[in-house]
Amino acid sequence: MTKFELTNINLHLEHELNHLSQTMDALYRNAFKDDVRQVVLFYKDEIADWMLQLKDRFISCYDIQNLLESKKGTIPLAGLKNAGMGNNEIEIMKGDIIRLMAKSILDTYLNSLYKKPATSRKIEIRTGNWF
């Protein structure tokens, strides 16, 4: 996995995080952003490893979701707890974080699949009428 792909995952996550945080109560918004950044930093090496395994076809896209779901219990979200968010809402936020992480990883992976074959083998992509 390239550094560009890791950066792309982080940028995609940041974009999704900002979008989600705008739907939250202002009281929790900054705590949510900080908590998610800590979670992403904590799992950064695992995300890089998962991307390599995806590329080498050792795991599937479905496995990524399962791997992330298995981490749900280890996501602390201490900032949201300190801000007074209830346990049910925190569990919902954990699910949202996992969904955002999976989406960012899989979007980056799938984009890398579709960009490389046409450019590396100099395949001409036909445009116009197909029928």
In this structure, is residue 124 part of a structural domain?
Answer: no
- Count how many domains the chain has: 1
Distance CA 109, CA 117 (A): 13
pTM equals 0.76
pLDDT tens digits, one per residue of 44-98: 888 888 888 988 889 988 898 899 999 888 888 999 999 999 999 999 999 988 9
Residue 9 belongs to some domain of the structure: yes
**Cα Dmax for the chain:** 60
Helix (H, G, I), strand (E, B) or coil at 75: coil
Residue 31 located in a structural domain:
yes
Structural domain boundaries, residue 23? 3-118
Q: Evaluate whether residue 123 is within a structural domain.
A: no
33 by Cβ neighbours in 10 Å (0-12 / 13-18 / 19+) ranks as: middle
How many Å apart are CA 124 and CA 57, to the nearest integer?
26
Is 109 inside a domain boundary?
yes
Residue 127 lies in a domain: no
Asked whether residue 52 is assigned to any structural domain, the reply reads yes
